[in-house]
């Protein structure tokens, strides 16, 4: 009888509306007047719906010209509606409207377990819970929960509660008239954070951060910070993340009553940070803005927090970039937000370049750009020595032509260029212009050999770079940045690169680059080849190794040697290890491949400056999982062999666990040269 009724339903022998899409599987069913029922359990399935229960009534008939197509179910009830699962005591579901009521229903919307007297299902994305409760605890009798007169869940992620009471151990703790929350949208997964920290220097400190409102595209957070010494602080944070993803705005604004390390008096201290981004619908124009204003130089480090560091570079700047098929334009403005900073202010800078143009008949490419700026270099007002600020209008024009030649397997590309810079002011308080010619060439060839498992590529190369003597020396114009650092140089680089590929992957698993630079007729470099470099890289599925070295011929010593190793066994264990050695002859430069400094300044002058900084550094980074619910992250930073400075050791240990499905607990121990810090934090995490 059961199989016969199933066959009738699946073939649509009953009156056909949408019943042919329903599969009914009932134990010991009975059929009467268009109603198929059982008290022995069963399942009803369609494309978007699955219902199982002990007692089921499936009705499909017409009454007074209207189609009745419903399901009633109770006892051991579970309803799966698309990707949403509900449980409860009783269900009434109307298949013609795709709506229903679950009495004493429960469901899960991360991080909440949500239930109530009735769950009214409006459609696949929206439902309402009356006399609702929400908790993160798995147990039936939870330690704490939220009770609300009504909760609406919209678009599967917008949580809107009315008349809310927060209870702890069954007692009311907080009441709110309404509460809105976007459970999936925003960048920070934490809804609530509580952290207790003990610093050796300042004692215990408690921090609580709470998402008070989030809806659609906006989220707002409040933060409180309290110390035993009766110091306190608070913050308001905002996030704007629209669904079109062409814009964002993040702000963090902190105000505290605290003391400075050098001043025991209570002072008002603050930090205001922001990070914004906007992109045109075409994607051709992009704008970014960042700001960071704080009360004193110690503020970012005194209140250092991983989730509060929005602007690590501490810049206050605005950029607009626009590109077309043949042109790129940039506008940049940067000012000094804090009087204790030394900053090169762009007030503003405009930049324009065109894509390389090819002269078809000659095969010559032309590359040009122009940059105009008003620059104001201001020094910190807290400096003990008096250093004068300097400013100037600066206009730079850069032009270059190059022509590639192919001579069999050999590729040769000569280059010729010119740079002109105009300064409206100089150290002599007059207008000056700088002109310089650039010239050079590069020659490369490639040798290939294929083996059974690998392919070997050898690429010898020679490049020459020359800059003529500038029309004015570096002491006769302002040096705002590396872009002003022009001087005569004649540099020849000779090298050979070896690369090994596997046949399965396009990326190499081994790279070796051996090269040296020669300098001719340049200041204070009597050695033609002062240094020899060797860079080695290995990349395997679970192991990555890198080894970078330089030998100083002039002083017969290792100039620098850096070794890096990263190993990932599986998702439960990963390890990274890095050793860095730098001799006193390896200058601290922003661009290691720029040697203008080397040929412009005497070595004795550089050795007596902070640019020379001999040291050995050891960095470790270890992650391992102790169990499915416990993991550990260990980082360490060690340094020694510095001139006139003692060794230092810093260690940070983070221990993580998850409780009640959505609470992330973090134990941290942090040792630095000036502090020992222990903290315990707990975060309420929203779903991904």
Three-state helix/strand/coil letters over 221-240: EEEEEEECCCCEEEEEEEEE
Last residue of a domain, one of 97, 128, 149: 97
* pLDDT bracket for residue 203 (50, 70, 90): low
Whole-prediction pTM: 0.73
Residue 61 maps to a domain:
yes
* Cβ atoms within 10 Å of 221's Cβ, excluding its own: 23
* Structural domain includes residue 31: yes
Q: Is residue 378 part of a domain?
A: yes
Domain boundary among 486, 518, 544: 486
User: Distance from first CA to last CA of the chain, Å, rounded?
Assistant: 47
Token pair for 457: 């590529």
| Predicted confidence (pLDDT) per residue in 624-673, tens digit | 999 888 999 999 999 999 888 889 999 999 999 887 666 788 899 988 88
Nearest residue to 676 via CA among 196, 197, 194: 197
Determine, yes or no, domain membership for 54: yes
- Strand (E) positions, 336-484? 343-359, 364-378, 390-402, 405-407, 410-423, 432-445, 447-450, 454-467
Q: Examine residue 68 and state whether it is found in any structural domain, yes or no.
A: yes
What is the C-alpha separation between 290 and 511, in angstroms, rounded? 39
pLDDT at res. 465: 92
Q: Where residue 15 falls among pLDDT bands split at 50, 70, 90?
A: very low
Least reliable range by pLDDT among 11-20, 139-148, 391-400: 11-20
Spell out the residues 6+ positions from residue 303 whose beta carbon is closer than 8 angstroms to its own: 225, 233, 254, 256, 271
Q: Based on the structure, what is the number of domains in the chain? A: 2
Instruction: Compute the radius of gyration of the chain from its Cα atoms.
Output: 35
> Residues near 274 by Cβ (< 8 Å), separated by ≥ 6?
249, 250, 251, 252, 289, 290, 291, 292, 310, 311
- What are 268-283's pLDDT values in tens digits? 888 899 999 999 999 8
Q: Which of 79, 97, 115 is the last residue of a domain?
A: 97
What are φ and ψ of residue 429, in 5° steps? 60, 45
Q: What is the DSSP string of 283-311?
A: SSEEEEEEEEEESSTTHHHHT--TTT-S-
pLDDT in tens, 118-168: 999 987 678 999 998 887 766 556 666 778 899 888 877 777 888 888 776
The pLDDT score that the predictor gives to residue 6 is 45
Tokens of 343: 């900053």
Position 394 in a domain: yes
E strands present in 54-126: 55-63, 66-81, 84-94, 99-109, 112-121
Averaged pLDDT of the chain: 85
Residue 535 is predicted with a pLDDT of 96
Is residue 631 in a domain? no
Quote the domain boundaries for residue 64.
1-97
* Confidence at residue 135, expressed as pLDDT on a 0 to 100 scale: 78
Does residue 488 contact residue 599 with C-beta atoms inside 8 Å?
A: yes
Pairing mode, strands 263-279 and 285-294 = antiparallel
Check whether the bond before 500 is cis (ω within 30° of 0): no
Q: Is residue 52 part of a domain?
A: yes
pLDDT at 347 over 80: yes
Q: Coil, helix or strand for 370?
A: strand
The pLDDT tens digits of the residues spanning 32-82 come to: 888 888 999 999 998 888 999 999 999 988 888 788 889 999 999 999 988
More confident of the two residues 321 and 97: 321
Residue range 185-212: mean pLDDT, rounded: 69
- Supply 407's token pair: 């001579």
């Amino acid at each position: 009888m059961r199989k016969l009724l199933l066959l009738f339903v699946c073939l649509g022998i009953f009156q056909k509306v949408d019943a042919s899409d329903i599969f009914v599987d009932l134990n010991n069913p009975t059929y009467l007047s268009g109603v198929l029922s059982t008290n022995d359990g069963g399942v009803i399935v369609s494309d978007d719906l699955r219902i199982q229960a002990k007692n089921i009534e499936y009705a499909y008939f017409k009454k007074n010209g209207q189609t009745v197509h419903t399901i009633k179910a109770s006892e051991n009830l579970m309803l799966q509606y698309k990707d949403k699962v509900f449980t409860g005591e009783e269900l009434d579901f109307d298949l013609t409207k795709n709506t229903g009521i679950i009495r004493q229903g429960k469901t899960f919307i991360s991080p909440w377990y949500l239930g109530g007297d009735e769950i009214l299902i409006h459609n696949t994305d929206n439902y309402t819970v009356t006399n609702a409760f929400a908790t993160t605890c798995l147990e039936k009798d939870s330690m704490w929960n939220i009770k609300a007169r009504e909760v609406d869940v919209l678009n599967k992620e917008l949580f809107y509660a009315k008349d809310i009471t927060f209870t702890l151990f069954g007692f009311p703790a907080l009441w709110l008239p309404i509460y809105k929350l976007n459970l999936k949208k925003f960048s920070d997964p934490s809804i609530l954070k509580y952290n207790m920290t003990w610093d050796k220097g300042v004692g215990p400190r408690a921090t609580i951060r709470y998402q008070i409102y989030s809806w659609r595209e906006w989220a707002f957070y409040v933060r409180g910070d309290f110390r035993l010494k009766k110091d306190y602080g608070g913050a308001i944070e905002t996030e704007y993340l629209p669904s079109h993803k062409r814009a964002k705005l993040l702000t963090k604004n902190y105000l505290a009553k605290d003391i400075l390390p050098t001043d025991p008096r209570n002072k008002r201290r603050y930090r205001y940070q922001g990070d914004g981004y906007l992109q045109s619908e075409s994607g051709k124009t992009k704008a970014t803005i960042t700001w960071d204003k704080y009360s004193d130089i110690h503020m970012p480090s005194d209140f250092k927090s991983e989730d509060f560091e929005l602007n690590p570079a501490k810049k206050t700047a605005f950029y607009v970039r626009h590109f077309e098929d043949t042109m790129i334009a940039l506008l940049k403005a940067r000012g000094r937000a804090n009087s204790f900073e030394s900053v090169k202010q762009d007030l503003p800078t405009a930049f324009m370049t065109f894509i390389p143009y090819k002269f078809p008949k000659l095969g010559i490419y032309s590359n040009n750009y122009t940059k105009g700026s008003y620059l104001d270099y201001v020094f910190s007002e807290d400096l003990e020595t008096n250093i004068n600020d300097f400013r100037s209008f600066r206009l730079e024009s850069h032009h270059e032509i190059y022509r590639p030649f192919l001579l069999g397997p050999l590729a040769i590309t000569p280059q010729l260029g010119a740079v002109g810079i105009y300064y409206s002011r100089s150290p002599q308080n007059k207008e000056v212009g700088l002109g310089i010619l650039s010239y050079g060439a590069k020659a490369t060839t490639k040798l290939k050999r294929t083996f059974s498992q690998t392919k070997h590529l050898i690429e010898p190369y020679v490049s020459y770079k020359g800059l003529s003597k500038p029309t004015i020396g570096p002491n006769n114009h302002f040096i705002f940045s590396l872009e002003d650092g022009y001087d005569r140089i004649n540099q020849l680089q000779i090298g050979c690169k070896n690369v090994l590929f596997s046949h399965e992957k396009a990326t190499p698993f081994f790279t070796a680059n051996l090269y040296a630079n020669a300098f001719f007729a340049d200041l204070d470099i009597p050695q033609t080849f002062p240094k020899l470099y060797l860079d080695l890289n290995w990349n395997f599925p679970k192991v990555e190794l890198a080894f970078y070295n330089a030998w100083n011929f002039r002083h017969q010593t290792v100039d620098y040697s850096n070794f890096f190793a990263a190993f990932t066994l599986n998702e439960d264990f990963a390890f990274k290890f890095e050793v860095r050695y730098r001799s006193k002859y390896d200058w601290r430069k922003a661009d290691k491949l720029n040697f203008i400094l080397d040929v412009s300044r005497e070595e004795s002058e550089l050795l007596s400056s902070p640019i020379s900084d001999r040291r050995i550094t050891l960095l470790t980074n270890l992650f391992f999982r102790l169990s499915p619910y416990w993991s550990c992250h260990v980082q360490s930073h060690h340094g020694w062999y510095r001139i006139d400075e003692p060794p230092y050791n810093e260690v940070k240990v983070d221990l993580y666990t998850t409780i009640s499905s959505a609470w992330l607990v973090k134990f941290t121990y942090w040792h630095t040269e000036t502090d020992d810090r222990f903290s315990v934090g707990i975060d309420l995490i929203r779903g991904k």
